[in-house]
Amino acid sequence: VTSGQTVGLGTGSTVAHLLPALAERGLTDLRCVATSPATAARAQELGIPVEPFERLARLDVAIDGADQVDPAGWLVKGGGGAHTREKIVAAAADRFIVIADHTKLVDKLKPPIPLELLAFGLPATLQNVNPAKLRDVPNSPDGGLIADYQGNVSDPQELATRFDQVPGVVDHGLFPPALTSDVLIARGEEVEHRTPFSD
């Protein structure tokens, strides 16, 4: 991240380490958007300026964590229920950087896959994403209910397409490899840099 950039800030315990590190750099003229109220509040406490994601159309860079990273670069996100905003921010960024420790690496993606669902028609939507369970957490800042798909994830592309075709699914936590520019994987003091994943 350099002065003057537009920056998307992810959500979660990994990003909680990123924010003070970013603040310490004392960069000027940053314009940041946050993927959750928690990130917005913490960033502002640290003096990182955050604005609503209504005035910017593109971001230079977005940085976030992940719950799972597979060898092809598919991610599972949304353990914190913020995956819809996280995906919007990642897709708006010229460069989407994922920071993960090595425990997030998996040979194959596995459930749960987080979902955000509209309340309208919820029973019908739940049937269409079966097997899934509503999570006992507050609604997203956009009013969506958070659920977890508990079924087979052997073909992430097929499953993502299935979710994309259900109208009551606001978004899901499967992030395709083409969305991600860089994955930084920490193992002790070592950092492995993987890039790019796109076709």
What is the set of active-site residues? 86
Return the closest-CA partner of residue 76 out of 173, 197, 181: 173
The whole-angstrom separation of Cα 96 and Cα 61 is 6
CB of 121 to ligand DER, least distance (A): 25
Of the candidate spans 51-59, 78-86, 134-142, 160-168, the one that interacts with ligand DER by CB under 6 A turns out to be 78-86
Find residue 96's DSSP bridge partners. 62
Return the closest-CA partner of residue 31 out of 54, 11, 12, 48: 48
Pick the binder of ligand DER from 7, 82, 113, 146 (CB under 6 A). Answer: 82
Considering the rule CB under 6 A, would residue 67 count as an interface residue with ligand DER?
yes
Considering the rule CB under 6 A, would residue 144 count as an interface residue with ligand DER?
no
CB of 51 to ligand DER, least distance (A): 20
Pick the binder of ligand DER from 8, 80, 112, 177 (CB under 6 A). Answer: 80
For the sheet with 31-34, list strands across it: 31-34, 6-9, 59-64, 93-101, 182-187, 190-194
**Kind and range of the H or E run holding 38:** helix 37-45
Of the candidate spans 58-66, 163-171, 175-183, 186-194, the one that interacts with ligand DER by CB under 6 A turns out to be 58-66
Interface residues with ligand DER (CB under 6 A) are 10-14, 64-67, 77-80, 82-83, 86
